[in-house]
Structure 1
Amino acid sequence: MTPVGSEPELADRVLGGWLGRIAGNMLGKPVEQGDLWTRDRIDDYLRQASALPLTDYFPEPPPGGSAIELRPEWRQCVRGRIHGSCRDDDVDYAILGLDLLETHGFGFSTEQVGDLWLLRLPYLQTFTAERAAYRNLASGLKPPLTATYDNPYQEWIGALIRADIYGWTCPGAPRRAAARARRDAVLSHTGNGVYGAMWAAALISAAFTAPTVRHALDEALAVVPASSRLARTVRRVISLHETRMTWEDTLTTAAEETAGLGWIHTIPNAAVLTAGLLYGDGDFTRTLALTVRGGLDTDSNGATAGSVAGVLTGADAIPAQWKEPLEDTVRSAVFGFDGVRISELAERTLRLAQAESEA
């Protein structure tokens, strides 16, 4: 473990996490439909646009090409058209988590997470497991029934995308970050859905102090049951990387071994994310590009990979093509936060991280 460093360094790395999450989310958003936008199809699109290797946001569809199968928001998140981040749940939940910790402190309860959803988050901006839990909350159910009643999405990726704030506010304390992420996750998820959130929070926390991505992954694995399918899948990708297998062949192997789980399930997405981090090897641009090119839930995976990479490098080291189009502005469906500055979110997160370290 290496020390987090001075206050300016911590501030730079917290801001790097926020910028990385938002940039990665924006990069993956145009092709966020994993059953349609497969890895091969994404690369075909990039090749036609002369954009391989990918070093910037997605290009517009080439002349004569069809944009009909891109996400409807593509015009707000392709290079040359970005003016601040567009709204997305992958960023909304990070904002909501910040509000949770500011409102209730680090001792928050799962019930308080649910209360804040009902207060701050519009129902129609929730999806899959979160929508099922929201409906259950509105019907008067309490956790853990909110996660289990009429909810077929309990192991999907939703809880994982809510975990960043617990990593950013617990720098170098992955077990503490994981425990808080679990308290949030059980509102809507069970099993590997919860483990995914714990793993992501620990991974981001460890990125503040671990000397390499691999060290951070090892620390994150220690917070989830070793026999869980999540842990076994992450270890499998690590082992394939160690054999010097190519990124493409690693993802092909992982896809074969997780076939049938669906493109929004936590397990195959954890494989894509792990591969992107390992083969990106600490380089911010390469990490984002490989993770999103890996397909499946592209905006969610890009966001988490960007968060980890941004913490590792710090905001100052993130290349300008990722930061400048964001214009320090976030669109959000969370009541009271639309148009908030990214720098303000980072400053508020830093205050929480400092309060945590002084406790």
Structure 2
Amino acid sequence: MNQLKLFFFYGAIALLSCNVGDTFAKDYKISKGELLNKIKGGWAGQVIGCTYGGPTEFKWNGTMIGEEIGIPWDGSRMSWYYKNSPGLYDDVYMDLTFVQVFDKYGLDAPDSLHAKYFANAGYPLWHANQAARYNILNGIMPPESGHWKNNPHADDIDFQIEADFAGLMSPAMVNAASEIGWRIGHIMNYGDGVYGGIYVAAMYALAFVHNDIEFIVEEALKSIPKQSNYYQCIADMIQCYREDPNDWKKAWFEAQKKWTSDIGCPDGVFMPFNIDATINGAYIVIGLLYGKGDYGATIDISTRCGYDSDCNPANAAGILGTMIGYDKIPAYWKQGLDKVEDLNFAHTEMSLNKVYETGLRHAGEMIVRNGGRLDGDMFTIKYQQPEPVPFEKSFEGLYPVERRRIGSSLTRKNREVTFKINGSGFVLGGRAMKNNNLPDVVLEIEVYINGNLYEVAKIPTDNRVRRHELTWNYDLKEGENNITLKAKEIPDGYRIETQDVIEYSKNKPGKLIYY
């Protein structure tokens, strides 16, 4: 890890940018007031985009939201969600966990400390975040907590939606943002899942000093290794835009044809649901490019791409909000914002107004740490040209070949389930359940593979600390493998439900033949 830190902090010193995309200077100067204006634009933009897309989240899977479908917007939308459905802003209050750790313990706070605060927070989590929470609470710390062999959701969107803070505290310092993102992103993700957050943070960092959204989208991609799927998908979207900058739906279809076959997330394999960072990252970029700097068009297009259609416009609106600044966000889109800026986000002690000031302080500290300075009211920033982070790939050499229902329950009377898989890996979904009014407990299952004890898995009934899947293994010998689950003890009123098993093979499946 020390080598990676040296790579980020010293390996890429910067030519420094002026306020246009094609010319560079050694330093970039920005007043404290304008820096605050851009930080506010980034944080407020997340809330605006998330609120707009909230009613559509994962209701259009594998299809775009037609223009004939109205998406409501008025001055009451934000305050309604704050009061009635505060979990909508998970991508914001997740960011704030890391912001608060930096604020309390300083910019050198280790990733292990971030992980502990994240894992012990009161908010509910899903997918890679929840799998990482379980890992951390059970002694698997980062970066292993996000590694794909420990976390079947490693390529999911989680860090992508919560990496905004890394760019907002690193104005014009792309590699500094990448260093933060690399450490914290591996708490819950790996490979393309981490790259999504690195890329979003890079766009934020660049948005402080460039006013050309096309340049920002393309330049930030230099932070991602070219051999990754994430890079190639975003490059495809950029190419689509170059070929036809007026038809975002054409780009959407290209993304759909090539980048929607999820092989990791157990909820998305062979299903229309897709929370993979790569395809949702494409939807951020489609909104930014085809929105052409128009705030409303950017949010609307990113939302209408579907899938995670609140988080994607939140990222897009935050990046564009940083570029233009809070003051230039159209009044139509800020209506109702003043009603919520003093309200703390769920499970935090931070509001927008608090994070505006905290974000300014952190950005100032990062500027000085990375060779810049503050003279009176004027910051001088040492601009960094983006350098790619190291390459890593999840689920390499594995191909999902079958999904089928197991559907048995482990109970006090029936404490064993056996099934077979034909391949080199599997993931078994499921959960622990209890009757109403019973206390939460942690049930345990012994998992045997071909007669050998593989693991003793703890399965909590408490949803906040649940194990996202019952068990998995990606390192089996290719062929028939027998899997047996034996419950150690299950009291009356409790049960463990098995759901779908996904089988993986090292042999790439052939194409379907239609007759």
Residues of 2 paired with 1:280 and 1:332: CA distance? 29
1:311 is aligned, of 316, 322, 327, to 322
Which secondary structure state, in structure 2, belongs to the residue aligned with residue 45 of structure 1? coil
* Structure 1 residue 134 corresponds to structure 2 residue 94: no
CA-CA distance at 1:151 after TM superposition: 2.1
Residues of 1 paired with 2:91 and 2:344: CA distance? 12
CA-CA distance at 1:206 after TM superposition: 0.6
Query: Which residue does the alignment assign to 2:253?
Result: 252
The one-letter code matched in structure 2 to 1:334 is H
1:174–1:219 CA contact under 8 A, matched in 2: no
Higher relative contact order (CA 8 A, sep 6+): 1
2:301 is aligned, of 286, 290, 299, to 290
CA-CA distance at 1:289 after TM superposition: 1.2
The one-letter code matched in structure 2 to 1:222 is K
Per-residue CA deviation, residues 177-230 of structure 1 (Å, 9 max, x unaligned), is 011011111011111001111111111101111231121122211111011111
Alignment of 1:73-112 (within 5 A): 79-84=74-79, 86=82, 87=86, 88-112=89-113
Residues of 2 paired with 1:206 and 1:238: CA distance? 17
Alignment of 1:159-178 (within 5 A): 159-178=159-178
Which secondary structure state, in structure 1, belongs to the residue aligned with residue 349 of structure 2? coil
CA-CA distance at 1:43 after TM superposition: 2.9
Per-residue CA deviation, residues 125-162 of structure 1 (Å, 9 max, x unaligned), is 11111011101111122222212354211001001112
1:156–1:264 CA contact under 8 A, matched in 2: yes
CA-CA distance at 1:166 after TM superposition: 0.8
1:207–1:308 CA contact under 8 A, matched in 2: yes
Residues of 2 paired with 1:255 and 1:171: CA distance? 33
With over 3 angstroms needed to count, the CA separation of the structure-2 counterparts of 1:150 and 1:356, relative to structure 1, is closer
Residues of 2 paired with 1:114 and 1:183: CA distance? 10
How many residue pairs get matched?
A: 324
Residues of 2 paired with 1:107 and 1:318: CA distance? 33
- Range 211-220 or range 247-256, more displaced: 211-220
The one-letter code matched in structure 1 to 2:97 is L
Tell me which structure has the larger Cα radius of gyration. Answer: 2
RMSD between superposed Cα atoms in Å:
1.8
1:282–1:312 CA contact under 8 A, matched in 2: no
Query: Which residue does the alignment assign to 2:313?
Result: 302
Which secondary structure state, in structure 1, belongs to the residue aligned with residue 170 of structure 2? coil
Residues of 2 paired with 1:252 and 1:4: CA distance? 41
Query: Which residue does the alignment assign to 1:204?
Result: 204
Q: Percent identity among equivalent residues?
A: 27
Query: Which residue does the alignment assign to 1:353?
Result: 363
Task: Structure 2: state its 5+ residue gaps.
Answer: 1-16, 19-27, 263-267, 269-273, 370-515
Residues of 2 paired with 1:133 and 1:266: CA distance? 16
Query: Which residue does the alignment assign to 1:49?
Result: none
2:53–2:311 CA contact under 8 A, matched in 1: yes
CA-CA distance at 1:334 after TM superposition: 2.7
Residues of 1 paired with 2:258 and 2:143: CA distance? 30
The one-letter code matched in structure 2 to 1:22 is V
2:39–2:322 CA contact under 8 A, matched in 1: yes
Per-residue CA deviation, residues 8-38 of structure 1 (Å, 9 max, x unaligned), is 1111111000110110011111110155583
1:133–1:188 CA contact under 8 A, matched in 2: yes
Residues of 2 paired with 1:283 and 1:97: CA distance? 30
2:62–2:256 CA contact under 8 A, matched in 1: no
Alignment of 1:1-359 (within 5 A): 1-2=17-18, 3=28, 5-36=30-61, 38-40=63-65, 42-46=66-70, 58-59=71-72, 79-84=74-79, 86=82, 87=86, 88-119=89-120, 121-122=121-122, 125-148=124-147, 150-244=150-244, 246-261=247-262, 262=268, 263-326=274-337, 327=339, 328-337=341-350, 340=351, 342-359=352-369
Give TM-score, length-normalised by structure 1. Answer: 0.85
Task: Structure 1: state its 5+ residue gaps.
Answer: 47-57, 60-77
1:4–1:171 CA contact under 8 A, matched in 2: no
Per-residue CA deviation, residues 54-110 of structure 1 (Å, 9 max, x unaligned), is xxxx32xxxxxxxxxxxxxxxxxx535325353221111121121122123222322
1:237–1:271 CA contact under 8 A, matched in 2: yes
1:4–1:209 CA contact under 8 A, matched in 2: no
1:24–1:299 CA contact under 8 A, matched in 2: yes
1:4–1:10 CA contact under 8 A, matched in 2: no
Residues of 1 paired with 2:166 and 2:61: CA distance? 32
CA-CA distance at 1:269 after TM superposition: 0.7
2:51–2:78 CA contact under 8 A, matched in 1: no
The one-letter code matched in structure 2 to 1:309 is L
With over 3 angstroms needed to count, the CA separation of the structure-2 counterparts of 1:260 and 1:330, relative to structure 1, is farther
- Range 296-305 or range 252-261, more displaced: 252-261
CA-CA distance at 1:241 after TM superposition: 0.4
The one-letter code matched in structure 2 to 1:296 is Y
Residues of 2 paired with 1:277 and 1:83: CA distance? 22
CA-CA distance at 1:237 after TM superposition: 0.5
Q: By percentage of residues, which structure has more strand? A: 2
2:157–2:193 CA contact under 8 A, matched in 1: yes
Residues of 2 paired with 1:194 and 1:110: CA distance? 14
With over 3 angstroms needed to count, the CA separation of the structure-2 counterparts of 1:330 and 1:90, relative to structure 1, is farther
Residues of 2 paired with 1:198 and 1:244: CA distance? 27
4+ runs of 1 displaced by more than 6 Å? none
CA-CA distance at 1:232 after TM superposition: 0.7
